[in-house]
RNA sequence: GCCUAGAUGGUGAAAUAGGUAAACACGCAGGACUUAAAAUCCUGUAAUUCAAUAAAUGAAUUUUGCGGGUUCGAUUCCCGCUCUAGGCACCA
């Protein structure tokens, strides 16, 4: 048994002081590998993160040993909702919470045995970082896209043009410019909670009520910043040519962008109100009969009111009918008179659209193609009938439509980058670049009212160029924008900043970016494809257009990491009552007004039963709650298999496993578990095999430590080169579970042969990439003075891989009978048949054959 | 509901320009060592049936979620389903 704790600690300390990664030798080949940076939550790093970091470390170490100049950095995406909520709960500034979390994360990352560029670390909430996030905001604000020339121009050019005309006043000019800016103001819908006095995300709402406090939600319109990503759609679509992503990943994004050529109609309701309607095939318009309006999440009642008032529909009958269909809980039939004809309008929540912005018509069950309608309703036609009862205008024109919308870029929160805009007579102006950053004020006694609009110093003095208190007598003071940016603002462009994280004068140095260019391999979850990955591509293209960088795409290759799935458990609380109800009762009694609360696995006894005593001991809040038990006098919890995530409280901390088995075993195990891309259900069952494997290697080498045999053994060299050959293929495929089994197979063979120092040393170099510490220690014990990570990858001598004989599988009626080996010079059909005529098992078959199928170098199949 | 991916022994999985299904592990069973346990090592291990023996063993059939198709041959390609997971725009 080797003492992994001692060894791993020793080599961690030594490696810390050696720089294996990034240097400034710009003549060397470069390799930029990057993991999606984590959001530092209180629960810390989980297995999913660990797999990602270990995977990228393996590739980084491989590339180093191939002579590349490698960068593999880490940073933290610090702004965001969870920290702010936590801050409200405990009345501390989010900055302090984040600081604690990051410390914990770094501690955990250091246990994984990975090489990280610690000098290049970034934090998005650091003012030296978000200064540049704000800088990008201003650049977007002051740019517009010329559709004819397909180029980005400064807004000043447009402004001067309009001014020259001398027709418009400054308000009108501002309105026009707002229609062109790449970041612009527009009203859009949000979930508003009057009681909490805040905007809520879909995730903060359950069954139509806010999760915090269980209050009602209203849908209101708010003036918000939007990014005009739609003007970059063609560029985004063209960009796929330059990147090496999986086909299906590209397809997901392409479909999300959803460019379609359509015909364009008007649909009239009550002769007055019209809905714009896009249709792909003209003839399909005849098939429309029913219309389904899609409500935002679980909020059908509000939608009915909205529709009633907007379209003045006479609602004849409302049938609250709950269908058994999965997502059709809120399907409601409204019979109304439209153009004196009856039409069925269904309302459903099956499309979870927050802003009511998306409108689709599904006209055909078979091929599920969609129409898109503008006026904030979703229409879905299930069956096709001949048209009788709706009136359509003639086709107006053909045009392109997109699924992708401009992105809402403002949040009504505190914990985000402040928007560097102030308002003069209601016209937005940006703070001058040289006065950035516009710092986020520090609020000590943090609570739910801690927002920028409650912060009394939130005014901009254009003379002093800093934030000030309001002073009625001073004419140079203007109110600042009270929104903050969403959390993806900082993650749009972070991969650039790693390369030059301390630069105060520029977003990035030109020389540096010209060398590193882009991320060669980007690793992250598939769930980010339609968000972060798309926004980053947009941002990169914009930065290219304003000459910050000169490459077309940010991520040359992208590999999506499979999700780690694990059981999550939840209990159910009746809305507005302090009652916890057993999950099976909800199903039996079809109860609707409940709230789902995730709980930790440790409170569960067998068969999903809640251990109430244990639960109450650690959750004092529920001490005075009533419990509604089932027939067996138990509280049953809901068990689901979901992705490992902090919000679901089903995360596994890697530290426990590392402490028990060591980093090397942990690393090998995670890679051995399953293919990297595959979703994996977490289990720890098979880890013993890895432990045994490393132990055996240790024992084998330690016993032979003074054996200096260095001879050339053909068989040993053959299996070694075979191993290297197959490992190299796996590096190309980016799949390492079979690499581990290759190492095991090799060791099985070699351990029964004479000890060969030369072969074993090469084996250690190969294995060190996966199990760094044990290999480093053994390398050292074999009297090597330098670190094993300065060694280059062993090179294959192909002479040894050459096979003299060819294997043939002989089949009778597609079933394997025997295997024969043929010399290369005899590799032909007739020779094999002749040979088989002398074989007792086969010769009769050959005589009576109907047909013989011969596949060169593989198979001879005799059909009878 | 729509979009995307996946499904192979008791378990994690391996094998796809269509050609020996189950590599490598875990678990289990038996054995060795030990007073005993743990650890370690060795042997066996997809299922069913048949033959035969003291025993080793041999033979046949079935099997990659379900139902079809193409093919001499399908885990792999095509069509139709089922189930599971992820995304659906303010979680990150």
Per-residue model confidence (pLDDT) at position A739: 95
Task: Please list, in sequence order, all residues whose beta carbon lies within 8 angstroms of the beta carbon of residue A326, skipping any fewer than 6 positions away.
Answer: none
- What value does the mean pLDDT of chain A take? 83
- Pick A30 or A389 by higher pLDDT: A30
Proximity of residue A226 CB to strand B below 7 A = no
CA distances from A761 to A124, A701, A722 (A): 44, 10, 16
Peptide bond before residue A437 is cis, with ω within 30 degrees of 0: yes
pLDDT band per the 50, 70, 90 thresholds, residue A316 = very low
Tokens describing residue A108: 């955990």
The closest nt to A691, taking CA to C1', is: B25
Q: How far apart are CA A141 and CA A431, in angstroms?
A: 11
Q: How far apart are CA A137 and CA A418, in angstroms?
A: 10
The closest nt to A856, taking CA to C1', is: B19
Could you read off the pLDDT of A562-601 as tens digits, one per residue? 999 999 999 999 988 899 999 989 888 878 788 899 999 8
Proximity of residue A689 CB to strand B below 7 A = yes
**pLDDT for A325 beyond 70:** no
Per-residue model confidence (pLDDT) at position A276: 57
Contacts of A247-254 spanning 24+ positions with Cβ under 8 A: A249/A526, A249/A529, A249/A558, A249/A560, A252/A526, A252/A529, A252/A530, A253/A529, A253/A530, A253/A533, A253/A534
Per-residue model confidence (pLDDT) at position A211: 84
Per-residue model confidence (pLDDT) at position A391: 46
Which ranges of A619-733 does DSSP label H, i.e. alpha helix?
Answer: 654-661, 663-673, 687-703, 714-733
Tokens describing residue A506: 């520029």
For the segment(s) A654-800, the CATH number from 3.40.50.720, 3.30.70.270, 3.40.50.280, 1.10.730.10 is 1.10.730.10
Task: Return the percentage of chain A with pLDDT > 90, whole number.
Answer: 54
For the segment 345-404 of chain A, residues whose CB is within 7 A of strand B: 350-355, 358, 362, 368, 370, 380, 403-404
Phi, psi of A599 (to 5 degrees): -130, 165
Q: How far apart are CA A10 and CA A7, in angstroms?
A: 5
The closest nt to A350, taking CA to C1', is: B1
Q: Count CB-CB contacts under 10 A for residue A553.
A: 22
Closest residue to B91 (CA, C1′):
A203
For the segment 506-535 of chain A, residues whose CB is within 7 A of strand B: 525-528, 530-531
C1' (B57) to CA (A847) span, angstroms: 30
Q: How far apart are CA A94 and CA A97, in angstroms?
A: 5
User: What residues does each domain of chain A span?
Assistant: 4-135+487-561, 260-400, 564-643, 654-800, 803-863
- Strands of the sheet with A851-855, listed across from one edge: A815-823, A805-812, A859-863, A851-855
Proximity of residue A642 CB to strand B below 7 A = yes
Cβ atoms of A790 and A65 closer than 8 Å: no
Tokens describing residue A521: 């391999």
Could you read off the pLDDT of A349-373 as tens digits, one per residue? 433 322 222 233 333 222 222 332 2
Tokens describing residue A633: 């006098």
Q: What is the CATH number of domain A4-135+487-561?
A: 3.40.50.620
> Which value, to the nearest 10 degrees, does the dihedral of the CA atoms of residues A305, A309, A312, A318 take?
10
Q: How far apart are CA A378 and CA A372, in angstroms?
A: 8
The closest nt to A205, taking CA to C1', is: B90
3-state SS, residue A633: coil
HSE of A27, CA atoms in CB hemisphere, 13 A: 0
Q: How far apart are CA A202 and CA A214, in angstroms?
A: 14
The closest nt to A82, taking CA to C1', is: B91
pLDDT band per the 50, 70, 90 thresholds, residue A397 = low
Which ranges of A459-546 does DSSP label H, i.e. alpha helix?
Answer: 488-491, 494-497, 510-516, 532-545
Q: How far apart are CA A709 and CA A623, in angstroms?
A: 71
Q: Which residue has the tokens 């509000």?
A: A302
> For residue A681, what is the DSSP state?
E
The closest nt to A696, taking CA to C1', is: B40
Give ∠ CA A94-A95-A96 in degrees, rounded to 5.
Answer: 90
Would you give the distance in Å from CA A82 to the centre of its chain? 17
Proximity of residue A475 CB to strand B below 7 A = no
pLDDT band per the 50, 70, 90 thresholds, residue A665 = very high
What is the pLDDT averaged over residues A216-236?
89
Cβ atoms of A857 and A823 closer than 8 Å: no
Could you read off the pLDDT of A23-68 as tens digits, one per residue? 888 899 999 999 999 999 888 889 999 999 999 999 999 999 999 9
Q: Count CB-CB contacts under 10 A for residue A265.
A: 21
Q: How far apart are CA A655 and CA A476, in angstroms?
A: 56
Q: Which residue has the tokens 């205008």?
A: A393
- Pick A249 or A350 by higher pLDDT: A249
Strand A143-146 with A151-154, pairing: antiparallel
Q: How far apart are CA A722 and CA A680, in angstroms?
A: 30
Which ranges of A619-662 does DSSP label H, i.e. alpha helix?
Answer: 654-661
The partner residues of A345 in beta bridges, in order of sequence, read A291, A334
C1' (B67) to CA (A248) span, angstroms: 27
For the segment 233-272 of chain A, residues whose CB is within 7 A of strand B: 248, 251-252, 255
List bases in chain B with any atom under 7 Å of a protein Cβ: 1-6, 11-15, 19-21, 23-27, 39-41, 61, 72-73, 84-92
Tokens describing residue A294: 């899609």
C1' (B82) to CA (A738) span, angstroms: 31
DSSP symbols for A435-474:
G---PPPP-SS--TT-SGGG-TT-EEETTTTEEE---TT-
pLDDT band per the 50, 70, 90 thresholds, residue A646 = confident
Closest residue to B92 (CA, C1′):
A39
pLDDT band per the 50, 70, 90 thresholds, residue A306 = low
> What is the CATH class of A803-863?
alpha beta
What is the pLDDT averaged over residues A234-254?
90
> For residue A628, what is the DSSP state?
E
Q: How far apart are CA A44 and CA A50, in angstroms?
A: 11
What is the pLDDT averaged over residues A642-647?
88
What is the pLDDT averaged over residues A604-627?
91
Q: Which ipTM did the prediction report?
A: 0.93
Per-residue model confidence (pLDDT) at position A382: 29
Proximity of residue A78 CB to strand B below 7 A = no
Could you read off the pLDDT of A735-767 as tens digits, one per residue? 899 999 999 999 999 988 889 999 999 999 999
What is the pLDDT averaged over residues A500-525?
95
């Amino acid at each position: 048994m080797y003492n992994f704790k001692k060894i791993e600690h020793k080599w961690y300390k030594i490696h810390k002081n050696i720089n294996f990664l990034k240097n400034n030798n710009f003549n060397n080949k470069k390799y930029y590998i990057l993991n999606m940076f984590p959001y530092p939550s209180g629960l810390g790093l989980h297995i999913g993160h660990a797999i990602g970091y270990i995977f990228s470390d393996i590739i980084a170490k491989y590339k180093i040993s191939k002579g590349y100049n490698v960068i593999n950095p880490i940073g933290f995406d610090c702004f965001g909702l969870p920290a702010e909520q936590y801050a409200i709960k405990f009345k501390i500034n989010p900055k302090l919470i984040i600081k604690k979390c990051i410390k914990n994360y770094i501690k955990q990352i250091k246990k994984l045995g990975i090489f990280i560029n610690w000098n290049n670390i970034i934090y998005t909430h650091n003012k030296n970082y978000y200064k540049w996030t704000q800088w990008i905001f201003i650049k977007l604000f002051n740019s517009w896209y010329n559709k004819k020339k397909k180029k980005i121009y400064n807004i000043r050019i447009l402004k001067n043009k309009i001014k020259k005309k001398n027709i418009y006043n400054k308000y009108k000019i501002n309105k026009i410019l707002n229609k062109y800016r790449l970041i612009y103001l527009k009203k859009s819908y949000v979930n508003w909670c009057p009681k909490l006095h805040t905007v809520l995300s879909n995730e903060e709402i359950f069954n139509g009520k806010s999760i915090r406090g269980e209050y009602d939600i209203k849908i209101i319109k708010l003036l918000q910043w939007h990014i005009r990503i739609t003007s970059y759609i063609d560029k985004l679509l063209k960009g796929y040519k330059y990147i090496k992503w999986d086909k299906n990943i590209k397809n997901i994004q392409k479909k999300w962008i959803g460019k379609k050529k359509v015909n364009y109609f008007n649909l009239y309701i009550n002769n007055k109100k019209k809905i714009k309607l896009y249709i792909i095939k003209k003839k399909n318009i005849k098939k429309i009969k029913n219309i389904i309006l899609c409500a935002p999440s679980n909020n059908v009642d509000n939608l009915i009111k909205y529709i009633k008032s907007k379209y003045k529909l006479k609602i004849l009958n409302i049938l609250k009918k709950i269908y058994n269909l999965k997502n059709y809980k809120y399907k409601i039939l409204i019979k109304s008179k439209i153009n004196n004809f009856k039409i069925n309008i269904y309302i459903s929540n099956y499309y979870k659209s927050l802003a009511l912005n998306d409108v689709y018509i599904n006209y055909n069950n078979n091929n599920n193609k969609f129409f898109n309608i503008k006026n904030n309703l979703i229409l879905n036609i299930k069956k096709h009938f001949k048209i009788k009862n709706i009136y359509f205008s003639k086709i107006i024109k053909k045009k392109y439509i997109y699924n992708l919308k401009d992105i809402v870029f403002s949040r009504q929160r505190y914990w985000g980058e402040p928007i560097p805009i102030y308002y003069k007579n209601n016209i937005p102006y940006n703070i001058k670049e040289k006065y950035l950053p516009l710092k986020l004020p520090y609020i000590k006694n943090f609570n739910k009212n801690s927002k920028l609009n409650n912060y009394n110093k939130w005014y901009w003095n254009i003379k002093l160029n800093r934030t000030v208190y309001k002073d009625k007598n001073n004419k140079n003071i203007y109110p600042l924008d009270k929104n903050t940016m969403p959390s993806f603002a900082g993650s749009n462009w972070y991969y650039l900043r790693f390369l030059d994280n301390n630069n105060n004068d520029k977003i990035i140095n030109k020389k540096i970016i010209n060398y590193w260019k882009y991320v060669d391999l980007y690793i992250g979850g598939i769930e980010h494809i339609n968000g972060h990955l798309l926004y980053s591509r947009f941002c990169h293209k914009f930065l290219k257009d304003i000459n910050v960088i000169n490459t077309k795409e940010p991520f040359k290759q992208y590999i999506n990491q499979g999700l780690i799935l694990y059981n999550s458990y939840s209990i159910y609380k009746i809305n507005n009552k302090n009652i916890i109800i057993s999950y099976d009762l909800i199903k039996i009694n079809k109860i609707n007004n409940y709230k789902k609360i995730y709980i930790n696995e440790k409170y569960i006894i067998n068969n999903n039963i809640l251990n109430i005593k244990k639960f109450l001991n650690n959750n004092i809040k529920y001490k005075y709650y009533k419990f509604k038990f089932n027939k067996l006098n138990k509280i049953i919890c809901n068990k689901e298999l979901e992705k490992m995530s902090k919000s679901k409280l089903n995360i596994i901390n890697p530290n426990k496993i590392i402490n028990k088995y060591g980093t090397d075993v942990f690393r090998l195990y995670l890679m051995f578990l399953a293919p990297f891309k595959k979703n994996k259900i977490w289990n720890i069952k098979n880890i013993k095999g890895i432990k045994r494997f490393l132990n055996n290697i240790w024992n084998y080498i330690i016993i032979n430590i003074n054996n200096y045999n260095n001879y050339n053994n053909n068989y040993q060299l053959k299996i070694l080169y075979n191993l290297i050959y197959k490992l190299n293929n796996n590096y190309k495929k980016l799949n390492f579970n079979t690499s581990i089994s290759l190492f095991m197979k090799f060791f099985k063979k070699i351990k029964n042969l004479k000890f060969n120092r030369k072969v074993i040393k090469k084996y250690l170099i190969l294995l060190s990439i996966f199990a760094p510490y044990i290999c480093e220690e053994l390398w050292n014990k074999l009297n090597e003075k330098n670190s094993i990570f300065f060694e280059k990858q062993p090179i294959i001598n192909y002479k040894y891989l050459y096979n003299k004989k060819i294997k043939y599988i002989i089949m009778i009626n597609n079933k394997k009978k025997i295997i024969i080996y043929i010399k290369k010079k005899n590799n032909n059909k007739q020779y094999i048949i002749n040979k088989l005529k002398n074989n007792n098992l086969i010769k009769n078959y050959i005589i009576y054959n109907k047909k013989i199928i011969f596949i060169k170098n593989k198979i001879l199949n005799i059909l009878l």
